[in-house]
Structure formats: C-alpha cells, structure tokens
Structure 1
Amino acid sequence: MEVAHDPGTARFGNFINYYSFNPPNNRLELIGEDFLKFLEADYSELDCIHCLDIGCNSGDLTTALYEKLSSTVRVKFLGVELDTTLVERCHASNRYPGEISYQKADLTSAADRQDVISEYLRKHAIDRFHVVCCFSVTMWVHLNNGDAIFREFLSYVAKLSLNLLLEPQPWKCYRNAVRRMKRSQCEPFEHFEKLQWRTEVEKCIEGFLTENCAMDIKTSYGHTKWQRPVTWLCSK
C-alpha cells in the first residue's frame, strides 16, 4: 500500500503528513487530569502498563500519548498501522524504541490479530491492554468494510481494552470522504450507500459498546477542533 499524497486517494485514512494539519495536541488537550490520576491510582503498583494505538499513522500521536501517560506510570506502547510506508516512518522517528514499538497490522484481519496483537499479549503475559487508543479510525473501518465487520471490529477492540480512548468521526466526515474520492476519480466506497449507522453514527458506536460490549462511558471529554468527540470508556 502506498501512502496517500492526494487526500482523495487516502482510502484507509493513510494521509501523508497527517499531523501537520491535525497535530497531536488537538486530542491531548482534551484528555483530563482525571485520566492520569486514574492510571496512577489503579496501576502504580504494576511494573508498567501496556497501551495500544490503533491506526497510528506516522507515530506522532503515539509518541505524544506515551510522553503524557508516562508522567504518572511506566508505559509501553504498541502502535499498529496498515500502511507500510507509514510504519517505516514510525520506526525511523521513534525516540523511545525501548518503550514504543510499531507493527504493520490491519485489525479487521484475523491473521494480523493473531500474529501481532495476540503475540504481543502473550509475550507480555497480559490478557488485555490497560489503555487502547482509537483516534479517527472508526470511519475508515466502517466505509471499507460495512456495518457487520465494523461491529465485529468494535467488539474486538472492546475485548482488548480495560480502558478505551475513542474519537469517532461524525457523519459529515463520511460525506466528505466520499466526495474526495469522487473528485479524485477513485473507486467509490462500495458499502457507503448500504450503511445503516449514518447520521448519528457516534451515538450508534457508543451505544453498541455500552449495550453489547460490556463497556461503560467514564468521561466525555468534549470535542476536538474538528468537532470530533473524545470519550473515555472502561470495561465493566
């Protein structure tokens, strides 16, 4: 897969220089002190906590999250990204190779789940990640795979998570992505017209996680400058 230079061709959200127009602080400034205090109170006796960043792009946000969370507890981060070029950028710019690792993985793929995620959990003798981050990933999974696989993806993410930091894209982002594809004369998203979760997709996602995946909403942190909600959910 080639990293997308034209935004219209970024079918999987694999934008080049993504953090130049959506810098990490747009998310970090919303994550409150309550989250850091929770980590310190609940996990300070552990040797370290393990965090997963799904769709890490070039690793800028992964690094910023590591620096923020490691101010209270020792942290190890795994960042996964399905674009080979972006994963190479992650490796090249990794300032904390002992604490942050990156792998190429598509978490809708059973093989990648087994080879990357299950192997990481086995290696570190844990059943779940203490923190999973899923920032601006949901739309791409939804558009490229349809409702059924998207719901299964959400169930899988919930099973991996003791705590989930979630930033879903609202419906207007779907429409914009479809328009960019059309403008660039790229193959359209084949599932778009059939999607059942549409105008209030963020509420559909939160409702599915709380009603079907044994998760509770701990805190709603408000919206980013791009009007995307950031929510902290925890396993029941």
Structure 2
Amino acid sequence: MAAPMSEGGKALVDAEPSVLPGGAAPYGNFPDYSRFHPPEGRVRLLPTALLSELFPSPRAGPLLGLDVGCNSGELSIALYRHLLGFKENKASPDHSTAGKDLSLLCCDIDAELIERAKQHSPFPGSISYATLDIMDPNARETVLSCYLSRFNRSMFDICFCMSVTMWIHLNHGDSGLVKFLSCLASKCTYLLVEPQPWKCYRAAARRLRKLGRHDFDHFRSLAINGNMAEKITQILTEDYAMEFVCCFGSTSWDRSLLLFKSKATQH
C-alpha cells in the first residue's frame, strides 16, 4: 500500500506519484499494487463476521473505519465487501452475515491514486477518499477530525494499516515509525496491521540502488529491525496501551495480519 508521509515536515498532498522506472516507489505508491499483491490474499484470512464479533452491541450510527495508505482503493473495496457480507457480483450485502453498517475513510499521499480510487469506487455513499500525508500533524488532524465530526465521533472503530509501516519507517526512521503507531493507537478502538518483514526493507533499498539512487535516508541507521511483526507488537502493547488480540494468519507473500485493541475504550 502507498504510505502517506512527508520529508522534513513538508506536506506532500499535491505531489505527483513518485514511482521510478523499474518498479521502485520510495513511498510505496506503486500504481498497479493490487496486481502483484491481490486483495483476496488478505481478505480471505479475515472472518466475514468480524465486525459483528468485535462490535456485538447495536448502535445508532455506522461503524467508522480508517484505511491508511489505501493506494488506488482496490483493497479498501475488497475489505468493505468482505466485512459487510457482499457476495461476488452482488450489489447488496447478505444481511444474515453482515449485521453492521460501515463508513470508511481511505487516505493516501498520492493524489493521482486517490483520484483513481474515487473514479472507480462502487460505494461512493459509504467509502470516502482523501489525499493526506498522515505524518503531517496539521493535515492529519484537519482531515480526520472533519470526517469524525460528521458522525459526532472522536475516534474510529477500526483502522486498517496494510503494508504501510515499512514506508513510514524507511522515510521517517525509528522515531517516525513510533510516532505513526502512536497516532494510530490514539485514533481507533481496533487496529489491523500488516507489517512488512525485514526482507522487504532490504528489497526496497536494493531496488533504489539498482536504479542508481541513494539508499533511504534512514535505512542503515534503523535500530528497530529484525522481526518487524514482533517489534510493532511490542511498541503497541508496551508503549501505547493496546492489547494484542490475534493473528489471522499470513498471506502467501509472508505478511501477517495482526489485530490490536485499545485498552482505553470498551464496547
């Protein structure tokens, strides 16, 4: 997934895609991401009744979701369809398996990818898109608060962070990764994270070198390294008041889907 981020605190919300020849994308904003990591490889690991299991109590309004680094939206749509019980080629959900309503805000740093997502979204009434540098605190608070205020809410029920953490880490260093995880933990009740393993860091750096580019600024100085699923779990549970709920398994490209819950909220 494309990772929303900035260099030196400068917002990049209007930037053109930073995709280099040969398949290297310094911010993860690959224009055809879903072709080599299909959404089905992730959503098949998640229970179709997940929302009902996590939020069994009825409520007046919809559940609110945030998808950080949504790229051009294919995975966002697949998650929405899967979690609300849409059957293949059906325009309405199977309410016997869904039982919930979901409004989803999807954000990405790449304005062109967001425009593609808007143009191809089959659920414009339930899925919103925003070009956003999640690492710019002013832009982040403006976009997220504005969306939440529409529902008179202060937090999202669930946040999706699918293959984003590495791009934050490579471009913002250890402190940037920690700040990013802290931000997500403070914004949601449940957090679903798909961390990239360390071998992906090496592969991303190697792609840049093959193109004659310098390494990522922070790659060689990262002290948070090795088993990234374990390290991210440690940061979220020990530093940011989240509890590990479960691992839904791993994709065919060796990335685990980890679910966390905020200790500060109860449902």
Distance in 1 between residues matched to 2:146 and 2:22, nearest whole Å = 33
- CA displacement at 1:45 relative to structure 2: 2.9
> What's 1:166 paired with?
193
- CA displacement at 1:8 relative to structure 2: 4.2
1:24 paired to 2:51:
no
> What's 2:63 paired with?
49
> What's 1:61 paired with?
75
Paired residues for 1:65-214 under 5 Å: 65-71=79-85, 72=98, 73-214=100-241
1:38 paired to 2:65:
no
Q: Is the 8 A contact 1:9 1:186 kept in 2?
A: no
- CA displacement at 1:35 relative to structure 2: 2.2
> What's 2:4 paired with?
none
Q: Which AA in structure 1 matches 2:246?
A: T
**SS class of match (2:156):** coil
Distance in 1 between residues matched to 2:261 and 2:232, nearest whole Å = 14
- CA displacement at 1:105 relative to structure 2: 0.5
Which of 11, 16, 19 aligns to 1:2? It is: 16
- CA displacement at 1:9 relative to structure 2: 3.2
Q: Is the 8 A contact 1:8 1:181 kept in 2?
A: no
Q: Which AA in structure 2 matches 1:58?
A: S
Q: Is the 8 A contact 1:7 1:15 kept in 2?
A: no
**SS class of match (2:245):** strand
CA RMSD of aligned residues (A): 1.5
Distance in 2 between residues matched to 1:173 and 1:157, nearest whole Å = 22
CA shift digits 1:119-142 (9 cap, x unpaired): 212222111111100000000000
Q: Which AA in structure 1 matches 2:219?
A: F
> What's 2:243 paired with?
216
**SS class of match (2:160):** strand
Paired positions, count:
235
- CA displacement at 1:40 relative to structure 2: 5.3
Q: What are the ranges of 5 or more consecutive residues in structure 2 without an aligned counterpart? A: 1-14, 86-97
Structure-2 change in CA distance of 1:33 and 1:64 (3 Å): closer
Paired residues for 1:222-233 under 5 Å: 222-233=249-260
**SS class of match (1:9):** coil
Q: Is the 8 A contact 1:128 1:161 kept in 2?
A: yes
Distance in 1 between residues matched to 2:155 and 2:220, nearest whole Å = 35
TM-score of the pair, normalised by structure 1: 0.95
CA shift digits 1:46-82 (9 cap, x unpaired): 3210100000000011111111222321110000000
Q: Is the 8 A contact 1:83 1:104 kept in 2?
A: yes
**SS class of match (1:177):** helix
Structure-2 change in CA distance of 1:140 and 1:173 (3 Å): same
Distance in 2 between residues matched to 1:161 and 1:121, nearest whole Å = 11
Give 1 or 2: higher helix fraction: 1
Structure-2 change in CA distance of 1:118 and 1:187 (3 Å): farther
